[in-house]
Structure 1
Amino acid sequence: MNRRSALLALPVVAVLLAGCGSDDGEASADPTPTCVSAEPTAQPPSSVSTDLAEKPEVPADDAPPPCGLVVADVVVGDGTVVAAGSAVEVQYLGAFYGTGEEFDSSWSRGQQALPFTAGAPGVIEGFGSGVVGMAEGGRRIITIPSDLGYGAAGQGPIPGGATLVFVVDMVSVSVG
């Protein structure tokens, strides 16, 4: 190996070693983790409206996104509770985690409710399972990691690897 190729190899070796952790068996900390562990339920941000007649907004958030599905009830409904397999109709607003930028909304289509079966194929996995346990008349924020959303490939306006946030209003529930 000549001097020039040895110098070119140094950065590669440094990068490989940087990912190996310290001698005491602890891994080195990633200063910007791609996601963090979080409880599956959370307190909703106070800035999300509790008025179900009002189009909600998703606040920007500079914290790393959660690695798993997280739900936060803004308004706890008092109607029928959604179980897996329930036929439901929801109002929703979808936004990108971090920026809060809206990418889709039933509110933008004249509040046309979206019908689907909770926990069944037809909507992204995180959305379908995120409404389970919600009661009719409620509003919930569902934060969906990429693997329960559109995955690495993305779809339409959703880039691959995107964490999504939905504000969902439970309009009706029919338990089959």
Structure 2
Amino acid sequence: MNRPLPLLSLCLLLSLSSACGSDSGDPTKVTYAAALGVDLTAMNRGESGLYTLDQEVGTGAEATNGRLLEVHYSGWLPDGTLFDTSRRTGRTAFSFTLGQGRVIQGWDEGLVGMRVGGKRRLILPSELGYGSTGSGAIPPDSVLVFDVELLSAR
């Protein structure tokens, strides 16, 4: 007797379990485009798996929870694909209140402590970005690379 259904079920179960255990959203497990210049060994790693690097330390007001921040940013996928930037012609800086969950978790965590005038690189594991659902041009389980410049904190 032919039993294709149980075999198909087993294959489906194995593929789902390997997808759930996927480490594609781990910044240490992806390959970065050379043009991004990512060097995780030169960055600070937080307990959540967020990597940060101050490319320029600012001297102005500090970004703390509850402050209204205004930033310029660019975001890339590890393969070098630019998925969004506030620096496009005609766009203004992006504003949000830090620590209120109005942005992805990696930003609420990664921008704390920046000072106005500073520039910081963030490498987010997928769970601090858009997780297993993705968003628009961002595929599910994507590590994200951001360069953020803090323009104001009030």
TM-score normalised by length of structure 2: 0.71
**Contiguous gaps of at least 5 residues in structure 2:** 1-6, 15-21, 29-34
- Equivalent position SS for 2:92: coil
Of Structure 1 and Structure 2, the greater helix share is in: 2
* CA-atom RMSD in angstroms: 3.3
State the number of aligned residues.
Answer: 130
Report the alpha carbon displacement of residue 127 of structure 1 after superposing the two structures with TM: 1.4
Spell out structure 1 runs of 4+ moving beyond 4 A. 60-63
The reply to whether residue 59 of structure 1 matches residue 39 of structure 2 is no
TM-score normalised by length of structure 1: 0.62
The reply to whether residue 116 of structure 1 matches residue 96 of structure 2 is yes
Cα displacement string for residues 64-113 of structure 1 (whole angstroms, at most 9, x for unaligned residues): xx87111100000000111111110000000012x222100001143511
More moved, 80-89 vs 132-141: 80-89
Partners of 2:39 and 2:115 in 1: CA distance: 30
* Shift in alpha-carbon separation, 1:61–1:172, aligned structure 2, 3 A: closer
Cα displacement string for residues 38-84 of structure 1 (whole angstroms, at most 9, x for unaligned residues): xxxxxxxxxxxxxxxxxxxx615598xx8711110000000011111
Correspondence for 2:77:
96
**Contiguous gaps of at least 5 residues in structure 1:** 1-7, 16-31, 38-57
The structure whose Rg is larger is: 1
Partners of 2:87 and 2:58 in 1: CA distance: 20
Structure of higher RCO (CA pairs closer than 8 Å, 6+ residues apart): 2
Percent identity reads 38
Partners of 2:56 and 2:90 in 1: CA distance: 22
Correspondence for 1:77:
58
